[in-house]
């Protein structure tokens, strides 16, 4: 679950909403893997979308 932790850490430290491409670029994780992790985070309601295709940590 290293990818999961890395993506969650990214959103914890992010100061603005980000899309999967930005997360992949910043963390160095493949975009497909980032999408899988983000889907899991959405199901767990840990991230929310303030605008289309951009996500941030739920406050």
Is the domain spanning 2-57 CATH 3.40.640.10? The answer is no
Per the prediction, the chain carries an average pLDDT of: 96
Instruction: List the chain domain ranges.
Output: 2-57
Query: Residue 59's pLDDT band (boundaries 50, 70, 90)?
Result: confident
Residue 22's pLDDT is: 97
Residue 21's pLDDT is: 97
Residue 44's pLDDT is: 97
Q: What is the DSSP letter of 55?
A: E
Q: Percentage of the chain with pLDDT > 70?
A: 98
Give the SS3 label for residue 20. helix
pLDDT single digits (tens) 24-47: 999 999 999 999 999 999 999 999
């Amino acid at each position: 679950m290293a990818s999961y932790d890395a993506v969650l850490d990214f959103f914890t430290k992010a100061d603005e909403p980000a899309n999967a491409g930005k997360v992949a670029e910043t963390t160095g994780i493949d975009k497909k893997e980032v999408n899988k992790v983000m889907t899991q985070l959405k199901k767990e309601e840990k991230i929310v979308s303030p605008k289309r295709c951009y996500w941030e940590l739920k406050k």
